[in-house]
Amino acid sequence: MNIITEYSAWFILVCLIIGVTFGAILYFRNNNDELPERLKKWLFVIRSVAVAFIAFLLLGPMIKQIASKDLKPTVVIATDASLSMSNALNDNEQIVLKQKTMELVDELSGRFDVQQFIFGSEVENNPCDSFYMPLTDMANLFDELNIQYKNSNLGAVVLISDGINNSGRDPLYSASPIEASLYAIGVGDTTQKVDISISRVVFNKTTYLKNLFPIQVTVQGEMSGGSETNLRIKKNDQTLEERPVSISSNRFSSTFIFYLNADSIGFHRYRLELDPIIREENTGNNYKEVVVEVLDRKQRALILADAPHPDVGALKRILETASFDVEHGIGNRITPNLEFEQFDIVILHSLPSMRFQIDSIFKKCNDARIPILFVLGHNTNFPQFNNLQTGLSITPQRDLKEESLPVRNPSFSSFLLDNAAIEDFSKWGPLVTAFGDYKAANSLAILFYQKIGSVETNYPLMAFNATLSGKYGFICGEGLWRWRMDSERRNRNSRYVDELITKSAQLLISDEKSKRLRIHVEKEFTSYDRIVFRAELYNQMQEPVAGEEVKLVIKDEQNNEYDYTFGLEGINYKLDAGTFAPGIYQWAVAAKIGMENFAERGTFTILSSMIEMEQTTANHHLLMNLAHHHNGTFYPFNAISNLSGDILQRNDLKPMRITTTDFFPLTNIKWLLFATLLLLFVEWFLRKFFGSY
């Protein structure tokens, strides 16, 4: 322990000089003072010490303490708490697993810091009491362990699971940052049983009135050769069509297509069913439910580009998947006879450019109140773009380009983003943007800022603006196709990128910005999702209004009503309605400002989720690979007792000596301040007692 200050140690000498000088002037300058010489010397010492110490405190002195301690290695015991584990273990085996886990904790606790986790759809730092989670995402577990124990003394991870992973990224890829040894305990039966299942359903979530739309169903059979079953599609418990299915081999797969008529507007729920076969134990994967929304009119989009580009293909595929009717072309070649009124949105890629002017296109879109989404690319003519006065201007420095990563603006609220999407955004690669000066109007709603290298800027990467002339969206770089490829590589789909572009287009198309009451809620949930509503309320000046009563009524298919009241979240409103049973639900939100009443209505659907029942055969091969890649061992469930001995025998798992340095200001030590005040009081008392003034 030692004392340090923010200034040079020479300043301590200055403090002493100040104290001595102050005391000398007070007691030795005035020779008429009648104090005894001996007392005067003692008072001089007291005053000098007190003043010097007060001056020293002005230097901000701190006590520097260096402490060392040994940190025991951490052993994490992570237990799969998903529903498939309750199928893998009978009641007695579940009791045995809990007992063996507690014994393992007791045996390791003497030498290690043992932490218990459960995982499935979520990750929690708790022991496992039951198996209830609706899906298994091992990647979430490894991400959480990497966050909590990176650069710490993590010695080993014990993974207790059936190896069934049905959500998220590849566990082998996700576990690669974990540097500790991984021991896997495999539970469940790896023997393939007799089973038939609806493994996949392909359909469009939206269709249009009077359309004939397909639903494609893939039926699989395992160890069920020679069996017969029936596949049917039902609506409201009424069978619409039934097909016989003859399972010809023990590794069977066949696809069936049902064509249905969209005869009314709204949401329609369909149930696909397979009859059970002899000796089939798992029937939870014999059915699936889908919901199709029938719309009155198909939305249309026009994509114009300066030149062929992969972004154009990516945008076209995304919008077509979202049931847009998409036309595309190069420059303004297809525009002379084109009626812009027939389109709901126009997307301009690298336009205006040196080759193509868009003044006439821009005027036609604004006159017809058609929103424009600008994708600013390498060939964009920025002086011409700035002249359009869209609320964003960019002054590039020559032809310099840079790579910009997306950084989400947490205050963006124009549409809802779930946590999984927000997490995925942080992993997206850069877009190629113009290097220069960006000027954004105050009305610009920025979704992503640009991160250049390690520097987060206030330059918009993706933003939206509504002016008196029209509504505009901006993607300030090219390379959207890379976002989709990266997402496919990580998640095996491009869902989050596609949802972002689709929601951006819908935001521009909608008249949401003119509404005084705005509601944000997803249209589709699963039976384990929590239904979260967010609301925004505005006055006539489009200023947010907080503190008003906003009510919600949810009505199910049996006309049962559930009443709720929104709570405040900052200046907006939020309501977590919890979970609901599968079905189609109507909702209505009502609010009031003064004497003005506002209301919004909509629909959401809840789909039954039996993802944990789709595969019931344990996958110990995955667990073996995880253990092999992390210098660990795989144990079958009946050998769990051997695990503690193997870990305790390892000599490389040793405590880590950590050194901490603490700084404690001297001004926080109250007794030193009291001692200084006491010195000054004693000096004053003695002076007065002996008659000095």
pLDDT in tens, 173-229: 889 999 899 999 999 988 888 999 998 898 888 888 888 899 999 999 999 999 999
Strand order in the sheet with 212-222: 195-202, 212-222, 251-261
Among 509, 531, 549, the domain-final residue is 509
Residue 419 lies in a domain: yes
- Return the higher-pLDDT residue of 619 and 335: 619
CATH number of the structural domain spanning residue 569 = 2.60.40.1930
40-49, 123-132, 499-508, 571-580: segment of lowest average pLDDT: 40-49
Asked if 81 and 44 sit in the same domain, the reply is no
pLDDT for the residue numbered 67 = 73
Per DSSP, the residues of 158-189 read EEEE-----SSS-HHHHTTT--SEEEEEE-S-
Residue 612 lies in a domain: no
pLDDT band at 334 (very low <50, low <70, confident <90, very high): low
Percent of the chain whose pLDDT exceeds 70: 97
Asked if 365 and 500 sit in the same domain, the reply is yes
- Return the higher-pLDDT residue of 169 and 600: 600
Residue 440 lies in a domain: yes
Mean pLDDT of the chain: 88
pLDDT for the residue numbered 336 = 56
Residue 337 lies in a domain: yes
Among 271, 294, 317, the domain-final residue is 294
Instruction: Assess whether pLDDT exceeds 80 at residue 687.
Output: no
Instruction: Assess whether pLDDT exceeds 80 at residue 234.
Output: yes
pLDDT for the residue numbered 495 = 85
Asked if 49 and 120 sit in the same domain, the reply is no
pLDDT band at 542 (very low <50, low <70, confident <90, very high): confident
107-111, 285-289, 510-514, 534-538: segment of lowest average pLDDT: 510-514
Residue 23 lies in a domain: yes
Of 174, 419, 529, which Cα lies nearest the Cα of 159?
174
pLDDT for the residue numbered 580 = 92
pLDDT band at 513 (very low <50, low <70, confident <90, very high): low
346-350, 448-452, 543-547, 631-635: segment of lowest average pLDDT: 543-547
pLDDT for the residue numbered 338 = 67
Residue 484 lies in a domain: yes
43-47, 393-397, 635-639, 657-661: segment of lowest average pLDDT: 657-661
pLDDT band at 691 (very low <50, low <70, confident <90, very high): low
Asked if 470 and 580 sit in the same domain, the reply is no
CATH number of the structural domain spanning residue 268 = 2.60.40.10
Of 243, 84, 86, which Cα lies nearest the Cα of 164?
84
User: How large is the average pLDDT for residues 88-114?
Assistant: 92
Q: What is the 3-state secondary structure (H, E, C) of 282-310?
A: CCCCCEEEEEEEEECCCCEEEEEECCCCH
CA separation, residue 599 to residues 106, 560, 567 (Å): 59, 20, 17
Asked if 480 and 394 sit in the same domain, the reply is yes
CATH number of the structural domain spanning residue 88 = 3.40.50.410
pLDDT for the residue numbered 187 = 94
CATH number of the structural domain spanning residue 310 = 3.40.50.880
Reading the block at residue 380, the tokens are 């964009």
Among 294, 311, 342, the domain-final residue is 294
Asked if 456 and 319 sit in the same domain, the reply is yes
pLDDT for the residue numbered 434 = 92
Determine the structural domain holding residue 45 and report its residue range. Answer: 2-67+662-689
Asked if 498 and 637 sit in the same domain, the reply is no
Asked if 15 and 89 sit in the same domain, the reply is no
Asked if 434 and 306 sit in the same domain, the reply is yes
Asked if 592 and 489 sit in the same domain, the reply is no
Asked if 337 and 479 sit in the same domain, the reply is yes
User: How large is the average pLDDT for residues 291-304?
Assistant: 88
Asked if 78 and 63 sit in the same domain, the reply is no
Burial class (CB in 10 A: 0-12, 13-18, 19+), 458: exposed
Q: How many domains does the chain have?
A: 5
CA separation, residue 341 to residues 297, 331, 497 (Å): 14, 19, 28
Residue 145 lies in a domain: yes
pLDDT for the residue numbered 337 = 63
Residue 171 lies in a domain: yes
